[in-house]
Structure 1
């Protein structure tokens, strides 16, 4: 859609195009002419959409806060799921994963060598020494938010503690590398460098993703790569950064029994932290964590 300078802006701000996104579009067009991958307009969230995503994130953060206070040795992963479901529904929201492509639960709980998508069960009991990832995605009034946290149950050995810590550092390195008018490749490169410097590997088959109006949107966010490559990070983009860091090989497989649970191929431990971020004019804003 081509707009004249005095037309109302495409972002529905109510402002004239020249006062709103004209300079923004010109900058993207210039970058595109130079051969860079640039986001389409549908990847740039409007002010109203951003507010909706933030309200969804308040519920999502609340779920993870509740789990943080209650998770303990002897608890079943089914009990964690029920905590999340009850909190979500009581706050007028919907668990995004529940019945998504047939997934049967309200969140994912992945333990030790499980990389992601672990299905909660009354038969899985948290044990002393476990490291656990809890991944929550929430829909509120049609807006999506997503985050995950690691938990250490009881007395965890030094090897596992270090992996959990370095995985968090990898996320932070990715956040630091995410800058307006930078590149997605900057994020992946920073994460991969830090993981490798600690003797760990980065899972390549899964990554972050755009989010806000759907559970998975463009762009795909690689957690490895080369600086100055991949899509330009333009203000208004909302996506997750969620590096999955393995103590051994980056190779993974999906459990044939449930069709969902992803595990490390060599049985090594895996850890992951996830935030949803908004690219702003002068940096990034963490929306869900």
Structure 2
């Protein structure tokens, strides 16, 4: 069942979104060659505490896994597309493609966003991957307006992936968000324009394109029960914003 949010609720979600944005920026600033992922986790935990926000991910267990998530943020490196665990034994190296996904709860409402960046020196392939994934998010956000359909949002992502020959996560995408981290409706990263749920004011969704350099959509889950990696070992990128559908168009709730 889809729940439609009010401006009062968006105001609270904006506070959660601000905490998410501040945390993502702090983690990115701390990411350098030689830094263990556990240090990024510690930075995220301190930042959310300072913002008086609760981490949405810590202890979260959706239906598809039996393992509660053990971290404050997801840190996914290179072939890990999403849900990477910030293990102490993994250390960042120059050229690593790193995606950080953060959720925060303030006053009973959640915000969710993700960024991807390169540690140290970026090669041309990484720059192209990140630029395309970020463009897909921008285009999808622009399509999130009253009168459009969910397929218009999905198609905006799908079109960029196909134009660049990138794969997407099969069966994974964005979601509704509000008093729970994951709510209806699903927001697929593949779809046809003009199809699906009619968007109307009050709908609040997390849009999250996830592209990888391999052309196929095949992925697998690691033994940790969370990390989803590309089957062919290709590098991945992930960008995400929480977006409110308003009468004046899309409003991004997870900007800094």
Q: TM-score, normalised by structure 1?
A: 0.83
Instruction: Tell me which residue corresponds to 2:116.
Output: 150
Cα displacement (A) at 1:68: 2.6
Cα displacement (A) at 1:80: 0.6
**Residues 168-183 of structure 1 mapped to structure 2, 5 A cutoff:** 168-183=134-149
How many matched pairs? 248
Instruction: Tell me which residue corresponds to 1:111.
Output: 77
Match of 1:87 among 47, 65, 71: 47
| Runs of 5+ consecutive residues of structure 1 not aligned to the other structure | 1-39
| Runs of 5+ consecutive residues of structure 2 not aligned to the other structure | 62-67
Q: Does 1:72 align with 2:39?
A: no
Distance, in Å, in 2 between the alignment partners of 1:216 and 1:104 is 18
Query: Which one has the largest radius of gyration?
Result: 1
Distance, in Å, in 2 between the alignment partners of 1:68 and 1:267 is 24
Instruction: Tell me which residue corresponds to 1:251.
Output: 218
Q: TM-score, normalised by structure 2?
A: 0.94
- What's the RMSD between the two structures over aligned residues? 1.2
Q: Does 1:274 align with 2:229?
A: no
Q: Does 1:132 align with 2:108?
A: no
Select the structure with the greater relative contact order (CA < 8 A; seq sep ≥ 6): 2
Match of 1:229 among 181, 195, 206: 195
Contact 1:192–1:201 (Cα < 8 Å) also in 2 = no
Match of 2:21 among 61, 69, 73: 61
Distance, in Å, in 2 between the alignment partners of 1:91 and 1:218 is 28
Instruction: Tell me which residue corresponds to 1:141.
Output: 107
What's the CA shift string for 1:117-143, capped at 9, x where partnerless?
Answer: 000011111100100000000011211
Distance, in Å, in 2 between the alignment partners of 1:275 and 1:93 is 17
Instruction: Tell me which residue corresponds to 1:100.
Output: 60
- 1 or 2, which has the higher strand percentage? 2
Distance, in Å, in 1 between the alignment partners of 2:10 and 2:141 is 19
What's the CA shift string for 1:21-61, capped at 9, x where partnerless?
Answer: xxxxxxxxxxxxxxxxxxx6x61102221111111111111
- 1 or 2, which has the higher helix percentage? 1
